[in-house]
Structure 1
Amino acid sequence: MSTRTPRHRRSRAAFAVGLPLALAAAGGLGYGLLGPGGSSHASAATAVPAWATQAADGFASVNALGQNGTYGGRGGEIVTVKTLADLEKYATADKPYIIVVAAAITMDPVGKEIKVQSDKTIIGAGTSGQIVGGGFFLGQGVHNVIIRNLTIRDAYQGVWNDKEHDYDGIQMDGAHHVWIDHNDIRHMADGLIDSRKDTTYLTVSWNRLGQENKAFGIGWTENTTADITIHHNWIRETEQRNPSTDNVAHAHLYNNYLVDEPGTTIKASYGNYARGRTNMLLENSYFQGLANPVIRDSTATLVQRGNVFSGTSGRNESGGTGGSWDPRSYYAYTPDKAADVPSVVKSGAGPRSSLGTTTKTAKAAATTLMVAKDGSGQYTSVQAAVNAVPANNPSRVVIAVKPGTYRETVKIPSNKPHVTIQGTGASRKDTVIVYNNASGTPKPDGSGTYGTGGSATVAVEADDFQARNLSITNDFDEAAHQDIAQQAVALRTASDKIFLDGVIVSGDQDTLLLDTASKDRLGRVYMTNSYVIGNVDFIFGRATAVIDKSVITLKKRWNGTSAGYVTAPSTAANRKGILIANSTVSGDVSDRTFYLGRPWHAGGDATLDPQTTVRNTSLSAAIKTTPWTDMSGFSWKDDRFAEYKNTGAGAGAASTDRPQLTDAQASGQEIGDWLGDWTPSAS
């Protein structure tokens, strides 16, 4: 067997203000711009739907082999197909396409596998996109392919464990950077998914796999080079290869739901299988009713953690000599709790009605404003596009911002709700809004200084605002301006229903100000899949705010020292404050130098009741063993600071200096308790 040499480029260049190299390759948080297109045989979309901008997570997001993540047909035409001829025409073309399958397309002859070429997205239109009696083939060197939201079914030829008909749902031979997501693949002749001949940088997520002898086979090679992520799949009514992984260098399986369905004639002979020299990490998955749920060869390495086994029997194995590895060295992820997997996966896997649909195309085109520094858009600055939004606009306006650095301040006034600012690049780092005002910076008109709130690069005063796939930065130079007040806000929100998805908010002191319009007004913020970077009180304010499934990066001070505070809530009494959940707190700073928070009684207001809860979050050794501290004469012990089931070197046991929620208390401090009747959703 050959030995593996590293081929990863774990990310593009590190973000200038401290985004960790090991986490910067979370391409699943990236977005891309798609242009309009047309065809004499297939109808063409004329706008950029949100689903068309999404990119892969897991190993498919890693930059390697000359490919920066997996974005499919980004940059190509969006075409809608209803016939086999049109599907094959666009899938086999030598240019990028977003191919929307809007009908049940029957393969002719049965078992036909369309030979998909590179730079393609093939996506079902809602639940109507179906491939009947065949599937797709990705050959040697084919890359950057997304197959999503399809039902691929019914090539079965009446023979269980068919040795004659090699009719797969999706077969890959030597491909790389492939994302297979939200499909329903069932009742084929040979297998549902085959990843063969060193296919690598593959992510398989949120699929339903069933009614087949062989679910998912990986290998057919003596090399140990493939890197594969498999998560949130519902595998049931399958007998074997659920999956089996042969000679896979890094196999990361998490949050999958494997069930041997009662009352059927199909019985699983085993669940997950590590073969050859595979090095597998299997975590937070749920195995129900299976015989031999986890098995491995003597030559494989298999590390288990956090899995649930309900009604299983037989072999359940781990071990090996290959050594452990951390997926976060390659990409960011936050697994769901294993106990929640059945409900999460059953409700979320398979085709979604919200994906691939084009019924809102005309509306989207009418309410999308394009910003581009090079003049190729309608506006050359973000603020100019905001200014063009009509006052009291009744519906969503998307400001699509092409890649570039926009050195400006942006303000969304209170009379312009329902605004989305979305970067159109492949990464959050491609579109940057940046400025360098600080609290002590003099205003140009001589009317004084900006103050903390006024220093914000982006200020949001309108309800129902969304931002995604971009960076918002304050690059004030503290070292050069030690003579003025140092607070320098990157993003200030002062309104309700703020949804921040896949963004980087970066600064030093007072990076992210989560405020409300007034002390008596509710202001809810939900941030997910994002990064916040800073050092002193860099998440602060009186909003009811959730930071979920994100990375909080601790940054050294201007003089190279390590000392800081993550949160400084100024919550009003009887309101929720700041909740950090399912996230990671880390950075290139010294051990035991950062507090998780301190109470900010703004203006000395003793009626405030600041709150920070940090739960189910990984804390690095940078966090102090006594993680809360006083501020401006107010004791943190008089306010609301607590943790719950945090992990990592910075976590600690309950004490008078480190309050921990009980299970009963934690049940009242869930994300839903913060957001109330609001369910954030991209629009």
Structure 2
Amino acid sequence: MRSRPRTLTAPLLLAAALLTTALTPAATAAPGHAAASLTVAADGSAAFGGIQAAIDAVPANNTSPVTITVHPGVYREVVLVPSDKPHIRLVGSSGRAADVTIVYNNSSGTPKPGGGTYGTSGSATFAVDADDFQARNITFANDFDELAHADQPNHQAVALRTRGDRIVLSNIAAHGDQDTLLLDSANKDRQGRVHISHSTISGNVDFIFGRATAVITRSVIQVTRRPDGTSAGYVTAPSTAPRFPGFLITDSTITGEVSAGTYYLGRPWYSGGDATLHPQVTVRDTQLSDAIRATPWTDMSGFPWQGARFAEYRNSGPGAGTPSGTRPHLTDQQAGSHTPATWLGGWTP
């Protein structure tokens, strides 16, 4: 006589369901969902030994924040956060920017393995194309040796480049010589907003540049001597589109061990000769050392500085000066619209 099929009782059905769930691979998670945290250590003690490897592990089109914690060390690599990987938070574990350094030495004129050269934007040690990126307690550096490559043209060498929107950089350092920090956007019709605080930025020629809308606050901007020992340079070179604000430097310090009166606050960069741009920099409530020239703005590539939106307000220190035809200042009324809140247009970092 054939036996009848056994009917599972409710407890057995529940046990079977739990067993099936336990054996289901974790890979069945919804696409775009990532682990909430990843860890990087240069000494091999963590899941990832490099920054790029950890970023590669974040799935494309991630919809929730992913924190990548980086243990102290020097990470000599070129890193890209692609545009389809938003919401990444890169955090140095020690709380000190000096303890975690991401560094490389490409320059604009460095030959690429496949031919051609990297160009200024492509020289970046660390590049952020994604929106909603954050970095804390990290040093970004480019240690390209200009003297060792004196026969090579185009010495621009970027440490950190941003192209995304809503970028937050806190307690970071960006070190280089020419073109250290490129604050950009995906194109001139798209705004790339960046908020930098409690940070250090160093360089000597156009070392804060690009078309982003950027607020730099409670930070130290260090002007440095050129590699050959000469003292001359430019802090900023904005290439702002006319519909957007440019760079706002506020409640900060601009200083450096250089000769007095040898550095300009900025010059206008009409990228590609695009005369429709309207570069902008406002420096306000900031301590200026004697490194800053009495006439702090100058021309660039045939474009006069007077056509740009350059202004100061309530600066102090030996490098500050009174309003004049060569040193425009905001009125109190104008200064009311040159604040982080108005600059960032509804976005609160």
TM-score by length of 1: 0.46
Q: Which residue of 2 aligns with 1:578?
A: 247
Q: Which residue of 1 aligns with 2:158?
A: 489
Q: Which has the higher strand share?
A: 1
Q: Residue type matched to 1:542 in 2?
A: R
Structure 1 position 519, deviation (Å): 1.0
Alpha-carbon distance in structure 1 between the residues aligned to 2:95 and 2:333 = 42
Q: Which residue of 2 aligns with 1:612?
A: 281
Matched, 1:597 2:272: no
Alpha-carbon distance in structure 1 between the residues aligned to 2:127 and 2:269 = 21
Give matches, 1:354-393, under 5 Å. Answer: 366-393=35-62
Q: 1:548 pairs with 217, 238, 258, which one?
A: 217
Q: 1:419 pairs with 80, 88, 105, which one?
A: 88
Query: Deviation per CA, 1:616-651, whole angstroms, max 9, x where unpaired?
Result: 000000000000000000001011000000000000
How many aligned residue pairs are there?
315
Q: Which residue of 1 aligns with 2:109?
A: 440
Q: Which residue of 2 aligns with 1:466?
A: 134
Q: 1:640 pairs with 309, 318, 327, which one?
A: 309
Matched, 1:454 2:122: yes
Q: Which residue of 2 aligns with 1:657?
A: 326
Q: Which residue of 2 aligns with 1:624?
A: 293
Alpha-carbon distance in structure 2 between the residues aligned to 1:416 and 1:483 = 38
Query: Deviation per CA, 1:113-145, whole angstroms, max 9, x where unpaired?
Result: xxxxxxxxxxxxxxxxxxxxxxxxxxxxxxxxx
- What is the root-mean-square deviation in Å for CA atoms of aligned residues? 0.9
Alpha-carbon distance in structure 2 between the residues aligned to 1:604 and 1:426 = 42
Q: Which residue of 2 aligns with 1:150?
A: none
Please state whether the residue corresponding to 1:556 is helix, strand or coil. coil
Compared CA separation, residues 390 and 366, structure 1 to 2 (3 A): closer
Please state whether the residue corresponding to 1:385 is helix, strand or coil. helix
Matched, 1:502 2:189: no
Give matches, 1:267-282, under 5 Å. Answer: none
Alpha-carbon distance in structure 2 between the residues aligned to 1:497 and 1:610 = 20
Query: Deviation per CA, 1:260-316, whole angstroms, max 9, x where unpaired?
Result: xxxxxxxxxxxxxxxxxxxxxxxxxxxxxxxxxxxxxxxxxxxxxxxxxxxxxxxxx
Query: Deviation per CA, 1:459-492, whole angstroms, max 9, x where unpaired?
Result: 0000000000010000000111122210000000
Alpha-carbon distance in structure 2 between the residues aligned to 1:535 and 1:425 = 29
Alpha-carbon distance in structure 1 between the residues aligned to 2:312 and 2:255 = 16
Please state whether the residue corresponding to 1:476 is helix, strand or coil. coil
Give matches, 1:275-294, under 5 Å. Answer: none
Structure 1 position 513, deviation (Å): 0.1
Runs of 4+ in 1 over 6 A off after TM superposition: none
Alpha-carbon distance in structure 2 between the residues aligned to 1:468 and 1:645 = 29
Alpha-carbon distance in structure 2 between the residues aligned to 1:489 and 1:426 = 24
Q: 1:395 pairs with 54, 64, 68, which one?
A: 64
Alpha-carbon distance in structure 2 between the residues aligned to 1:450 and 1:419 = 26
Please state whether the residue corresponding to 1:641 is helix, strand or coil. strand
Matched, 1:527 2:200: no
Q: Which residue of 1 aligns with 2:23?
A: none
Q: Residue type matched to 2:124 in 1?
A: A
Alpha-carbon distance in structure 2 between the residues aligned to 1:562 and 1:407 = 29
Alpha-carbon distance in structure 2 between the residues aligned to 1:631 and 1:661 = 23
Q: Residue type matched to 2:123 in 1?
A: S
Give matches, 1:101-250, under 5 Å. Answer: none
Alpha-carbon distance in structure 1 between the residues aligned to 2:280 and 2:148 = 34
Alpha-carbon distance in structure 2 between the residues aligned to 1:399 and 1:444 = 30
Query: Deviation per CA, 1:63-97, whole angstroms, max 9, x where unpaired?
Result: xxxxxxxxxxxxxxxxxxxxxxxxxxxxxxxxxxx
Q: Residue type matched to 2:125 in 1?
A: T
Instruction: Say if 2:337 and 2:343, in contact at 8 Å, map to a contact too.
Output: no
Q: Which has the higher contact order (CA 8 A, sep 6+)?
A: 2
Please state whether the residue corresponding to 2:245 is helix, strand or coil. coil
Alpha-carbon distance in structure 1 between the residues aligned to 2:151 and 2:280 = 32
Query: Deviation per CA, 1:434-466, whole angstroms, max 9, x where unpaired?
Result: 000000000122x21000000000000000000
Q: Which residue of 1 aligns with 2:5?
A: none
Query: Deviation per CA, 1:247-269, whole angstroms, max 9, x where unpaired?
Result: xxxxxxxxxxxxxxxxxxxxxxx
Please state whether the residue corresponding to 1:415 is helix, strand or coil. coil
Q: Residue type matched to 1:453 in 2?
A: S
Structure 1 position 366, deviation (Å): 3.9
Q: Which residue of 1 aligns with 2:236?
A: 567
Listed as ranges, the gaps of 5+ residues in structure 2 are 1-33
TM-score by length of 2: 0.89
Query: Deviation per CA, 1:177-231, whole angstroms, max 9, x where unpaired?
Result: xxxxxxxxxxxxxxxxxxxxxxxxxxxxxxxxxxxxxxxxxxxxxxxxxxxxxxx
Query: Deviation per CA, 1:398-427, whole angstroms, max 9, x where unpaired?
Result: 111100000001100000000011111241
Q: Residue type matched to 2:339 in 1?
A: E
Q: Residue type matched to 2:229 in 1?
A: G
Please state whether the residue corresponding to 1:664 is helix, strand or coil. helix
Instruction: Say if 2:121 and 2:161, in contact at 8 Å, map to a contact too.
Output: yes
Matched, 1:476 2:161: no
Q: Which residue of 1 aligns with 2:22?
A: none
Please state whether the residue corresponding to 2:120 is helix, strand or coil. helix
